[in-house]
Amino acid sequence: MSNCKVTFYPMNKEIEIPVGTTLKKAMDIAELDFDFPCGGRGRCGKCRVQIQQGSVPPSNTDYDHLDEEEIEAGFRLACTINVDDDLVVKIPLTGTEGHKILVDAAEREMELKPHLSKTYRDMPRPSIEDQQPDWNRLRNALSDGKSERNYRISHSALQALPVVLREKKFTCTAVVSGNEVVGIEAGDTTEKLLGMAFDIGTTTVVGYLMDLRTGEQLAVASTMNPQTKYGADVISRITYVSQEADGLQKLQEIIIEAINKLIGKAVKDAGCVRDDVYAISVVGNSCMHHLFLGLEPKYIALAPYVPVTGLPQDVDAKALGIQINSAGMVYVLPNIAGFVGADTVSVILATEMDQSSEIKLAIDIGTNGEIVLGTRDRMLSCSAAAGPAFEGAQISCGMRGTVGAIDSVSLGDDITYTTIGGEKSQGICGSGLIDVMAVMLAAGVLDRRGKIRTADEAAGTKAERFAHRLVKHDELNCFLLARAEETAHGKPLFITQKDVREFQLAKGAIAAGVNILIEEYGIEPEDITEVILAGAFGNYLDKHSACAVGLIPSSLEDKVNPVGNAAGTGSKIALLSAREYRRAAYITDFVEYVELSASPNFTEVFAKALYFSGKED
């Protein structure tokens, strides 16, 4: 036997390779997106796969990183395997597939009135007695003999017209946008009218395939934002664009490509084709908005932080390279400011905050926390530069919310925690971080100024029972969150004094933003009737912890309402209703933007917000 067959699950990919090829090489050949964090040197123990069929004797390295039970269950480190047998290999989910991406959110009622509609017409054939030109004939048919609506026709639809009309004996379906016929199809195709609503996040991109006639959601597809390679956050991407000659074009191209792939995936899942898709809507923060449209993002990052546009933009799908029906249109929601983008507008659209008579507060926590406060009479917004702590960066054991991340921490007799996927812990993600801070405060191991007590200091206080967790590591005071034997990588997880400081900066930024808006609005926190937490993160964090650490005013704890991916919901709404899309323009006009850095007492408010205001008991 000179060749072996290797089948990879769950992607169901089968390849043939010569005996003795490494599995790493085989995965390369199969073009799998699989991480070897240590480069395949048997060090990190992260490249675990499960052999489901075929023989792979465990290596010494496997014994170093895996336990008896795991080896028994067929787990091996991919980097150690030389393929000598036909294998069926199960690959654990990685990348986006392992991410929690929130795609469902509380939907709201609205009028279904998409930007495009389809109208079927069966027309009299031309004759010597009726020599109307094709387009005049169709236009008259569309007007139904009533006072003529002033229809126009796109050049490409006009080009298609004579042939399409004669394909099915002058029966046809016109695709109409506003008063323009943008597409023309032979016969009756009114049953096919799909659209896709996108939420382009800095990290992930989600698309919802919608039936524009019924409002029904047919499929969801998501992926990592491929721009991540060029910078994890918006500032580093703007820097990339500024420094590379065709940086803007490059970043636009890859996001368009990603969107095209998502469309392809979604229509396949729903059993239809790209041509059935006539419209997409797009929301994102101002930087994602600019990169998607190929607009210079530089001035977002430079004072006074001005985006190119704060109005909705309709663009031909073709002009952007979006691969949908040739009549397709792209509807891009507007930005409020350089750091309060279309995603925030979309949240307002989804939650109808702008139509509420009661004061509501919306927070979307991320690298920049967008905060909106107000009623239908007045709304304020701001952006708080939280930094990436909530996304796991700059925290010593921080990680994104993927498999193995500690996502919640509780205080009982001891500290307990859960991980995403129930796997052994590898680090801590944002929601876990807020919890552990709250727990540390409650346990008395953290004081109001954010200092971690030493074991000595804890002696004689209620924190005493956690003295064994109060250790020094790299000369820093630390709180031992997970012992080495509890973790996937065999190293303990600490919350260091530096981690606490980073967290304070992050939560302080959000809290300061909230407080400045409250002050600017001239109300007390208690006047707020609902705290809307938008975004995936808001959905996963524990509201009690969030209030305990002072991220949200503690008086509002019972009013916290996580609404999930409201930006995605807003995108769907803007796709399904042209009226709601137009409302987005009013929202951007209506919502006042407060530049925090220009606020006279910003420093004071921010400094105060660094403290843990929660009760220490």
d(CA 212, CA 189): 13
Tell me the window of 185-193, 205-213, 335-343, 394-402 that interacts with a copy of itself (CB under 8 A). 335-343
Closest CA to 437 of 446, 428, 426, 424: 446
Q: Judged by CB under 8 A, how many residues of this single chain contact a copy of itself? A: 49
- Kindly state whether residue 307 participates in binding a copy of itself, applying the rule CB under 8 A: yes
Closest to a copy of itself by CB, 602 vs 611, is 602
Closest to a copy of itself by CB, 308 vs 563, is 308
Q: Where are the beta strands (DSSP E) in 166-269?
A: 171-177, 180-186, 194-200, 204-211, 217-224
Of residues 190, 309, 410, 613, which one binds a copy of itself by CB under 8 A?
309
Residues 127-166: x where in contact with a copy of itself by CB under 8 A, - otherwise, as a string: xxxxxxxxxx--x------------xx-x--xx-xxx--x
d(CA 235, CA 220): 29
Closest CA to 195 of 176, 212, 175, 172: 212
d(CA 364, CA 44): 35
Min. distance of Cβ 404 from a copy of itself in angstroms? 42
DSSP state of 134: H
Tell me the window of 68-76, 313-321, 442-450, 530-538 that interacts with a copy of itself (CB under 8 A). 313-321
- Kindly state whether residue 179 participates in binding a copy of itself, applying the rule CB under 8 A: no
| Helix then strand then coil, % of the chain, to nearest 5 | 40, 25, 35
For 67, counting Cβ atoms within 10 Å of its Cβ (0-12 exposed, 13-18 middle, 19+ buried), the class is exposed
Closest to a copy of itself by CB, 134 vs 364, is 134
d(CA 3, CA 237): 45
Contact predicate 179/218, CB 8 Å: no
Min. distance of Cβ 247 from a copy of itself in angstroms? 14
Closest to a copy of itself by CB, 122 vs 191, is 122
Min. distance of Cβ 135 from a copy of itself in angstroms? 4
**Which residues pair with residue 280 across a beta bridge?**
196, 330
Contact predicate 176/143, CB 8 Å: no
Tell me the window of 83-91, 121-129, 360-368, 527-535 that interacts with a copy of itself (CB under 8 A). 121-129
Closest to a copy of itself by CB, 132 vs 418, is 132
Min. distance of Cβ 250 from a copy of itself in angstroms? 15
- Kindly state whether residue 335 participates in binding a copy of itself, applying the rule CB under 8 A: yes
Closest CA to 353 of 481, 532, 550: 532
Closest to a copy of itself by CB, 258 vs 295, is 295
Closest to a copy of itself by CB, 191 vs 314, is 314
d(CA 226, CA 237): 11
Min. distance of Cβ 167 from a copy of itself in angstroms? 12
- Kindly state whether residue 344 participates in binding a copy of itself, applying the rule CB under 8 A: no
Closest to a copy of itself by CB, 93 vs 302, is 302
Q: Which of residues 511-530 bind a copy of itself (CB under 8 A)?
A: none
Of residues 11, 19, 319, 484, which one binds a copy of itself by CB under 8 A?
319
Closest to a copy of itself by CB, 249 vs 555, is 249
Tokens at residue 47, please?
A: 């490249």
Q: Which of residues 239-298 bind a copy of itself (CB under 8 A)?
A: 293-296, 298
Of residues 236, 597, 601, 603, which one binds a copy of itself by CB under 8 A?
597
d(CA 161, CA 590): 43
What type of residue sits at position 403? V
- Kindly state whether residue 304 participates in binding a copy of itself, applying the rule CB under 8 A: yes
Q: Which of residues 459-498 bind a copy of itself (CB under 8 A)?
A: none
- Kindly state whether residue 413 participates in binding a copy of itself, applying the rule CB under 8 A: no
> Any idea what the Cα angle at residue 351 is, between residues 345 and 356, rounded to 5°?
100
With tokens 């170093």, the residue in question is 64
Closest to a copy of itself by CB, 216 vs 296, is 296
Contact predicate 242/230, CB 8 Å: no
- Kindly state whether residue 359 participates in binding a copy of itself, applying the rule CB under 8 A: no
Q: Which of residues 33-92 bind a copy of itself (CB under 8 A)?
A: none
Closest to a copy of itself by CB, 51 vs 516, is 516
Min. distance of Cβ 401 from a copy of itself in angstroms? 32
Contact predicate 553/341, CB 8 Å: no
Min. distance of Cβ 311 from a copy of itself in angstroms? 6
Min. distance of Cβ 260 from a copy of itself in angstroms? 18
Contact predicate 532/546, CB 8 Å: no
Closest to a copy of itself by CB, 17 vs 320, is 320
d(CA 19, CA 1): 8
Task: Tell me the three state secondary structure of residue 507.
Answer: helix
Min. distance of Cβ 603 from a copy of itself in angstroms? 15
Contact predicate 181/157, CB 8 Å: yes
Task: Tell me the three state secondary structure of residue 494.
Answer: strand
Closest to a copy of itself by CB, 134 vs 502, is 134
Min. distance of Cβ 271 from a copy of itself in angstroms? 33
Q: Which residues contact 36 (CB under 8 A, 6 or more apart)?
A: 24, 46, 47, 78, 79
| Kind and range of the H or E run holding 160 | helix 155-167
- Kindly state whether residue 593 participates in binding a copy of itself, applying the rule CB under 8 A: yes
Of residues 42, 45, 338, 564, which one binds a copy of itself by CB under 8 A?
338
Min. distance of Cβ 109 from a copy of itself in angstroms? 28
SS (H, E, C) 518-584: HHHHCCCHHHCCEEEEEHHHHHHCCHHHHHHCCCCCHHHHHHEEEEECHHHHHHHHHHHEHHHHHHH
- Kindly state whether residue 303 participates in binding a copy of itself, applying the rule CB under 8 A: yes
Min. distance of Cβ 162 from a copy of itself in angstroms? 5
Closest to a copy of itself by CB, 313 vs 454, is 313
DSSP assignment of 243-284: HSTTHHHHHHHHHHHHHHHHHHHHHHHTT--GGGEEEEEEEE
Closest to a copy of itself by CB, 301 vs 546, is 301
Residues of this chain that interact with a copy of itself (CB under 8 A) are 126-136, 139, 152-153, 155, 158-159, 161-163, 166, 293-296, 298-299, 303-311, 313-316, 319-320, 335, 337-338, 593, 595, 597-598
